[in-house]
Amino acid sequence: MTKLVIIGGGPAGNSCATYAARFGAEVTMIEDQIVGGAAHLLDCVPSKAMIATGGAMAFLRRSEGMGLADVEPRIDLSALRHRLDGIQDRLCRSTTSLLESQGVRIVNGRGSLLGPNLVRVTTADGEEDIEADVIVLSTGSRPRIPDWCAADGSRVLTTRHAYPPPEIPEHLVVVGSGVTGVEFVHMFQSFGSEVTLIVSRQQVLPGKDPEVAAVLEENFIERGVNLLKGARATSIEASGSAVVVTCDDGRVVNGSHALLAIGSIPNGDGLGLEEVGVETTWGYVDVDADCRSSVPSIFAAGDLSGKLPLSSVASMQGRKIAETIMGRATHGLNQVDYDKAASAIFTEPEIADVGMAEADAFAEGRKIRVTKVPFATSAKALINDDPRGFIKIISDPATGVVLGGSIVGRHAAELIAVVSIAVTAGLTVRDLYDSLLVHPTLAEVITDAAE
């Protein structure tokens, strides 16, 4: 029987453990905190839960358009904390019981490599060495804290201090305008904080389709978010009830709190990577298309693999590793196609995309057909009193095969699933517009855009 030891119980480790056990492996999962990983406890789930609360507040504030009057929501921090704890608890318990039902042995402790087939786990009771045919490393990542500031968790926060923070900031200065930064801007502005966003380039969401980023910037400006463009923070000083953020061009922002959203670093320290000969780049484990490291018996998945840092990608990598090591891989289907990963930004409006972007096509000199339909044409968008945004479909002009798409607007993260399935399954625009959807729905705009 294949003996598999997994270090790290986030989405990558859990999915690998569940599938490998289902395929007949003897699986041990080592997790030093709570099964569910940072995804459930510290990153995706609590941030999305807070955004949902902020979204409800923002919606109620706009409720006049729905025919309501005098609705002024107020945040209750202890109820919010209770809500977050409840969601995390349920998710972590259901993940643990799924693993246990598959016969996975869960060991609460810190794992490290002693050799290509040997893992040491240090628990509250001592040490145990476990032999393995295959080892999967899925220890995730944590927020990057630069050496020019100290995150004290009270005035200077990382995302992990914010679920929820000790108090709702009066004026939050967010450093970093990537996906995480803009989501926290949206979240705290919805809660009623004044927010300043420090944007190191001239566009929020650097690297995103400029048309998409422009919709978000417009929304931020409308909501009174201060955008400080072309500035890099170089120091954050906290004193008393204030923070002072200084930028490289000499500009200074005074706020009540600062939040760092400038990327993450891999949790590879103390794992024994170098000692066992696992090659890394900037601390991320180098992996091939099967997620195998430079040591053939050791795989890496999730954020530690340095591929796309998404929970969905981590789970898929975990499942593919299980299929590979248990001989279940179907030829050509056992590797993750990162180019087809859908992703979303949970702002207002939401932003989601999948597959080829217009800019990629131009860079490759590839001919594409782009069709775009605004939500303003949709009956459902008007019923929702939210006609912002659009759906864009990118297809091959010769074959009609759907190559990608972007959605900006309410429920974009849900709606992109349709385009995502089309991209993965190689469906054509004709397949989309021949589909008979429910009326009135926002999804109808996808078929309109495919026409």
Q: Which residues bind ligand FAD (CB under 6 A)?
A: 7-13, 30-33, 37-39, 43-44, 47-48, 110-111, 138-140, 159, 180, 267, 271, 302-304, 309-312, 314
Beta pairing partners, 281: 284
Minimum separation from the CB atom of position 118 to ligand FAD (A):
15
Contact call for residues 14 and 40 (beta carbons, < 8 A): no
By C-beta, is 293 or 378 nearer to ligand FAD? 293
Q: Residue 123: CB partners within 8 Å, gap ≥ 6?
A: 107, 108, 109, 110
Coil, strand, or helix at residue 95? Answer: helix
Contact call for residues 431 and 412 (beta carbons, < 8 A): no
By C-beta, is 32 or 194 nearer to ligand FAD? 32
CA-closest candidate to residue 136, choices 288, 282, 276, 27 = 27
Minimum separation from the CB atom of position 231 to ligand FAD (A):
22
Minimum separation from the CB atom of position 418 to ligand FAD (A):
18
Q: What length does the chain have? A: 451
By C-beta, is 268 or 409 nearer to ligand FAD? 268
By C-beta, is 11 or 355 nearer to ligand FAD? 11
Beta pairing partners, 142: 265
Question: d(Cα 278, Cα 286) in Å, to the nearest integer?
Answer: 8
Minimum separation from the CB atom of position 437 to ligand FAD (A):
26
Query: Which segments of 159-251 does DSSP mark as H helices, in order?
Result: 179-191, 210-222
Minimum separation from the CB atom of position 436 to ligand FAD (A):
31
By C-beta, is 209 or 303 nearer to ligand FAD? 303
By C-beta, is 22 or 48 nearer to ligand FAD? 48
Contact call for residues 304 and 315 (beta carbons, < 8 A): no
Minimum separation from the CB atom of position 81 to ligand FAD (A):
17
Contact call for residues 449 and 392 (beta carbons, < 8 A): yes
